Amino acid sequence: MGSIKRGALIVIEGVDRSGKSTQCKKLVEALQKKDISAKLMSFPDRTTLTGKLIDDYLKNEENKLNDRAIHLLYSANRWENVEKMKSLLDKGVTLIVDRYSYSGIVFSAVKKVMSLDWCKCPESGLPKPDLVFLLTLEEQEMLKRPGFGNERYENKTFQRNVANMYETLCNEEDNWIKVNAAGSIDEVHSKLLQACLKGLEKFQTAPLKSLFF
């Protein structure tokens, strides 16, 4: 009996309103249409115990949770999901993930309270994505998109720092693809789908790695 190939772990990152959630959903649908088993996951997963604390922190400005504490909660929120992720990947399900460790590192490191290395530490050992898409968007375009400004972190200066910190991480690894998110939803989608399909066979036949910082 031939063994089932594992699923691929594909992450989409980028500044707020760059289209991550839109593109993740479309990617899952497109893969499923091609009979490729795929599932959407997103972080923070607001349904879990830590997710509920994170949700309150994001929505409520009065919430003064310590910067290190919230950082560790975000990381714990991923660790809470690690068995589920590995089990799905083992079963051959490709996971399309809306934000992951890189959001965790970037959003905390730009606060300049903790060092970049400190922010990376709790992510070590989590499954390493086969591919990370970084959706880039000019500031003026980002501000035009609906919904900007509703939650903590959704302000111009913070997002500018976030964009710069993403660039730093993108340059540290060779499995990132930068995609200009200013095109139409369909244009961006076809670039992402093409890159996913191109790498899929390679990802599925290589052992899953772990993040190591």
CB of 21 to Mg ion, least distance (A): 3
Other CB atoms within 10 A of residue 75 CB: 22
Check binding of 21 to Mg ion (CB under 5 A). Answer: yes
Among 16-24, 46-54, 104-112, 193-201, the segment contacting ligand ADP (CB under 6 A): 16-24
Q: Between 72 and 195, whose beta carbon lies closer to ligand ADP?
A: 195
Residue whose entry in the numeric block shows the structure tokens 């086969």: 130
Size of the site for ligand ADP (CB under 6 A): 15
Interface residue with ligand FDM, options 82, 153, 197, 201 (CB under 6 A): 153
In the region spanning residues 78 to 107, those forming contacts with ligand FDM, defined by CB under 6 A, are 99, 103-104, 107
Check binding of 22 to Mg ion (CB under 5 A). Answer: no
| 119 contacts 162 by C-beta, under 8 angstroms | no
Other CB atoms within 10 A of residue 91 CB: 12
Q: Which does 146 bind (CB under 5 to 8 A by kind): Mg ion, ligand ADP, ligand FDM, none?
A: ligand ADP
Q: Which does 107 bind (CB under 5 to 8 A by kind): ligand FDM, Mg ion, ligand ADP, none?
A: ligand FDM
Q: Please tell me the distance from the alpha carbon of residue 46 to that of residue 29, in angstroms, as a whole number.
A: 22
What does the DSSP 8-state code read for residue 18?
S
Check binding of 185 to ligand ADP (CB under 6 A). Answer: yes
Q: Between 148 and 199, whose beta carbon lies closer to ligand FDM?
A: 148
Write out 98-162 in H/E/C secondary structure: ECCHHHHHHHHHCCCCCCHHHHHHHHCCCECCCEEEEEECCHHHHHHCCCCCCCCCCCHHHHHHH
- Residue partners of 104: CB distance under 8 A and separation at least 6: 43, 71, 74, 75, 78, 119, 122, 123
Q: Between 25 and 86, whose beta carbon lies closer to Mg ion?
A: 25
Among 31-39, 167-175, 181-189, 196-204, the segment contacting ligand ADP (CB under 6 A): 181-189
Check binding of 180 to Mg ion (CB under 5 A). Answer: no
Element (H, E) at 97: strand 94-98
SS3 8: coil
Tell me which residues touch Mg ion (CB under 5 A). 20-21
Tell me which residues touch ligand FDM (CB under 6 A). 43-44, 58, 74, 99, 103-104, 107, 153
